Amino acid sequence: MTTFRKLLALSLVLVLSAFVVWAGGQEEASGAAEPAEEEEMEGFDWRRYEGDEIHFLANNNPVGQLIDQYADEFTELTGIEVTVSLFSEQQYRQRRQTIFQAGSDEIDVYMTLVSRQGMLFERAGWYEPLMPFVNNANVTSPDYDFGDFGDGVIDSKTVNGILTGIPVNIEGPLLYYRTDIFEECGLDQPSSLEGLEDMAAELAECRPDMIPWASRGLAPALPYTFSNFLHNFGGEYQDADGMSNLSSPEGIAAIELYAKLMREYGPDGGINYSFPQLTAVNTNGQAAMVFESSNEFGKVMETEARLDDTDVMVLPPGPAGSTPVVIGWSLAMSPFSSKQEQAWYFIQWATSREMQVQLALDGLAPPRDSVWDSDEFQDWLAEAEVRQQWADGLSGLAADGSSVLAPQIVLQPEAREIIGNAVGSVILGEATAEEAAQSADEQINRLIEREQ
């Protein structure tokens, strides 16, 4: 299957996460100023707002870090100064929520996961619709090539007819494993989900100085990795009636395996692990298997040893096959911004083909078709076998993945934390998988009932 078709397949799974069940969507998400009328300008000019300043609120993950790293290039291009505020994931979400609830114009551009908060933010009016900017030749560069993203990728960022943001990357969790340690311990490449437990046990006996398995344990972050287990066991977050379904046999089996791997073979304090901690034990070679974001690939592979001793793959299939998680960040505009055209300049710069090539070479999978197939990116992949494995894994995510990481409800962020706490209670030995699943179902069903 060609890369183009794989990325088209991505669209089919991502668009489900953006579907909203309410009628009468908001054609305009706020009363913020529209882009200036064309007759008031004289065509596109990158220097039109020279001397202005904007504020970018970012998650302190590889996406936010890399855009921050190159922000000076935007200033050189436009003359617009950019203040970038990087916060850890939980602090970022809290800060963004506080600003929007206050209706403050403090920020102009921010990062968003439509698969997580798209329904909630669209309902609250916290997305400024971007198509009016895309379609305005006075504020959009003739070289931007919006069609390079493909209809499906853009559809995945569209909620109730509103384009909420422009995609920056494609991502999902991948299994990183130490080939040298596997060879030393007489182990082959992981081939089945259920076989991971035996592998972890053998690694613990063969190399007691290493962490056999590491993945996310922090409650709000855990569904990102746990959902792969649920999908591969054949579980669904909601039953045919739309109610929470974690206590299905498949859901209980997924919780049991995920929790056992973390409890018996995971790192000390793994209940507090998210991507920063996973990247640390991966980069320093402390863990034999690490299940973490594809976004962390570039940072991990900055260590030359990992280029030589680490392989990357999609999580092995379970009883129901392989349905990995696939999502992607996008850049959105605050509806309360008083500098929306300047903000749009920043968004189109960060998502331009030129910047997307650079981000791809830094280890972020590109959402633009032309970047994925470019000579620059293909040459970079060819320089190391593990890079091609990473790309093949991402192609697998695009072809077979799902962006369903929780019940598809407006209050999905709350549901995700409930799921994370439930699995965490089993990791800590505070509840059985069945008890935790039943408790989570009860709590999530109350959220669902609030929306009915």
Helices (H) and strands (E) in the chain, counts: 21, 10
- Tell me 316's DSSP state: P
pLDDT band at residue 153 using 50, 70 and 90 as cut-offs:
confident
Instruction: Give the model's confidence band at 151: pLDDT under 50 very low, under 70 low, under 90 confident, else very high.
Output: confident
Strand, coil or helix: 352: coil
* Lowest pLDDT segment from 11-20, 77-86, 221-230, 262-271: 11-20
Query: Same structural domain for residues 295 and 330?
Result: no
> Is the pLDDT confidence value at 140 over 50?
yes
- Are both 321 and 356 inside the same structural domain? no
The three-state secondary structure class of 113 is coil
pLDDT of residue 240: 96
Q: Decide if pLDDT at 17 tops 80.
A: no
Provide mean pLDDT across the span 13-35: 37
Instruction: Count Cβ neighbours within 10 Å for each residue of 106-126 and write b for 16 or more, e otherwise.
Output: ebbbbbbbbbbbbbbbbbebb
d(Cα 222, Cα 450) in Å, to the nearest integer?
Answer: 24
- The answer on 423 and 274 residing in a single domain is yes
pLDDT at position 41: 63
Q: What is the pLDDT of residue 302?
A: 94
What is the value of pTM for the model shown?
0.87
Q: Is residue 389 part of a domain?
A: no
What is the residue-wise DSSP string for 1-56? Answer: --HHHHHHHHHHHHHHHT----SS--SSS--PPPPPPGGGS-S--TTTTTT-EEEE
More confident residue, 396 or 227: 227
3-state secondary structure of 332: strand
- 420-426, long-range: CB < 8 A, 24+ apart: 420/218, 420/219, 420/220, 420/221, 420/222, 420/223, 420/226, 421/219, 422/246, 422/255, 423/222, 423/226, 423/255, 423/258, 423/259, 424/217, 424/219, 424/222, 424/271, 426/255, 426/256, 426/259, 426/263
Q: What is the pLDDT of residue 190?
A: 97
Q: 32 pLDDT exceeds 80? A: no
Mean pLDDT of 407-418: 96
Round to whole Å and give the CA distance between 165 and 25.
17
Q: Cα–Cα distance between 14 and 323 in angstroms, integer?
A: 13
Name the more confident of 406 and 16.
Answer: 406
DSSP 406: S
pLDDT at 452: 79
Do the domain assignments include residue 8? yes
Mean pLDDT, residues 417-433 taken together: 98
Does 295 fall in a domain?
A: yes
Please check whether residues 163 and 183 belong to one and the same domain: no
Percentage above 70 pLDDT, the chain:
91
Query: What value does the mean pLDDT take over residues 171-194?
Result: 97
| Phi, then psi, of 51 in degrees rounded to 5 | 95, -10
**Structural domain contains residue 63:** yes
**pLDDT over 50 (residue 3):** no
Same domain, 410 and 268: yes
Give the number of other Cβ atoms within 10 Å of residue 376's Cβ: 12
Q: Are 319 and 335 contained in the same domain?
A: no
| Domain enclosing residue 142, as ranges | 3-170+326-373
Q: Are residues 357 and 410 in the same domain?
A: no
pLDDT at site 399: 86
pLDDT tens sequence across 64-119 = 999 999 999 999 999 999 999 999 999 999 999 999 999 999 999 999 999 999 99
Same domain, 52 and 182: no
- Angle, helices 375-382 vs 353-361, to 10°: value is 0
More confident residue, 186 or 39: 186
- The number of folded domains in the chain is 2
Residue 105 maps to a domain: yes
Average pLDDT value for the chain: 91
Same structural domain, 331 and 318: no
Q: Helices in 31-138 by DSSP H: which ranges?
A: 62-69, 71-78, 89-101, 114-124, 131-134
Q: Measure the CA–CA gap between 215 and 261, rounded to whole angstroms.
A: 9
Is-contact 115 17, C-beta < 8 A? yes
The predicted-structure confidence for 196-246, as pLDDT tens digits, reads as follows: 999 999 999 999 999 999 999 999 999 999 999 999 999 999 999 999 999
> Which pLDDT band, with edges at 50, 70 and 90, does 40 fall under?
low
Confirm if 333 and 108 have CB atoms less than 8 A apart.
yes
Classify burial at 198, counting beta carbons within 10 Å of its beta carbon; exposed 0-12, middle 13-18, buried 19 or more. exposed
Which residues make Cβ contacts (< 8 Å) with residue 198, sequence separation at least 6?
none
pLDDT digits (tens, 9 = 90+) for 42-61: 799 999 999 999 999 999 99
Q: Are 347 and 303 found together in one domain?
A: no
Residues 30 and 141 in one domain: yes
The answer to whether residue 5 scores a pLDDT higher than 90 is no
For residue 262, what is the domain's CATH number?
3.40.190.10
Residue 39 pLDDT more than 90? no
Q: What is the pLDDT of residue 434?
A: 98
Same domain, residue pair 179 and 281: yes
End-to-end CA distance of the chain: 42
> What's the mean pLDDT in 388-415?
94
Q: Is the pLDDT of residue 305 over 50?
A: yes
